[in-house]
Amino acid sequence: MNEHEHEKKANDFSLPVYAALALLVVVMAFNQYQISTLSNQIMLYSAPALSAGGSAAQQPSSSAGSAVNLQAIVDRVIPTGVPDVYGSELGVSYDKPVESLTVLGKLDGDLYPTGTLKFSMLDADAQKRYVAMGKMIACEYCCGATELVFSNGQPACGCQHSAAMRGLAMYLLSKHPDMSDAKILEEMAKWKILFFPKQHISKAVSFSSSGMDSNINPTDLASNEFRGFKPSQASSASSGASSASSAGAIANAPDMVGGC
């Protein structure tokens, strides 16, 4: 084979290879675009629970009105910033639920041997308050428990989320005994909402579709008062397409923050 024939054969081989490589680049670029688009959609409702406060990007929707209403509900449901009274003391922030979960969980000495607070360390009045509040809220989305504590004040659930709520309650009863039970329960509820954002946003939407806007608050959303709430068939039907649009957006929110 002479030099000209060898060069022609090499060119005949190279052209298909280059064409295949070019096609591969195009396909990879398109796939990357799809991944980026999907990531942006997932970020819309997970961002309020996992990042600093601020408005999320607008969710594409067939109904701009339903998207605005859902965003308004998310803004009401997801707490942001540093909690008053105890936030700076403990170094926790609503904007950092994963890190704060670890800090608050370590307060529960009844579950963890290295925990800093125990039920036995509370005075008689604080113990009574603690048990009462512990029976008003639970970690049903993780371990399926119906309450945080038993009647003797000991943990009814061994997950980190329940430990964080118990630890916070014991801390506030110890360090800020003048804080009302309602306020302490509200703070526990705020953290539970952050730990399980999808479930509580969905519940808030159900409240709204049932004409229960006044119940879209941390305590009613996260305590046992409306546990397992489902909107009536009439209210579900009247919400129509907006409910379907909301359901699609809510699906992008995380089920659980932190480990169980």
Partner residues linked to 117 by β-bridges: 108
Range 11-24 average pLDDT: 47
Q: How many domains does the chain have?
A: 1
Structural domain containing residue 116: 90-192
| Torsions phi, psi for 45 (to 5 deg) | -105, -5
Does the residue 140 lie in any domain? yes
Lowest mean pLDDT among 12-26, 66-80, 158-172: 12-26
State the pLDDT confidence band at 251, using cuts at 50, 70 and 90. Answer: confident
State the pLDDT confidence band at 27, using cuts at 50, 70 and 90. Answer: very low
Residue-wise DSSP of 162-197: HHHHHHHHHHHHHH-TTS-HHHHHHHHHHHHHHHSH
Does the residue 120 lie in any domain? yes
Does the residue 40 lie in any domain? no
What pTM did the predictor assign? Answer: 0.72
Does the residue 6 lie in any domain? no
Does the residue 142 lie in any domain? yes
226's tokens: 């409306």
Residues 6+ apart with CB under 8 A from 94: 53, 78, 79, 80, 81, 82, 83, 100, 190, 194
Does the residue 149 lie in any domain? yes
Q: Residues 152-170: pLDDT tens digits?
A: 999 999 999 999 999 999 9
Q: Is the pLDDT of residue 129 over 60?
A: yes
Does the residue 81 lie in any domain? no
Does the residue 172 lie in any domain? yes
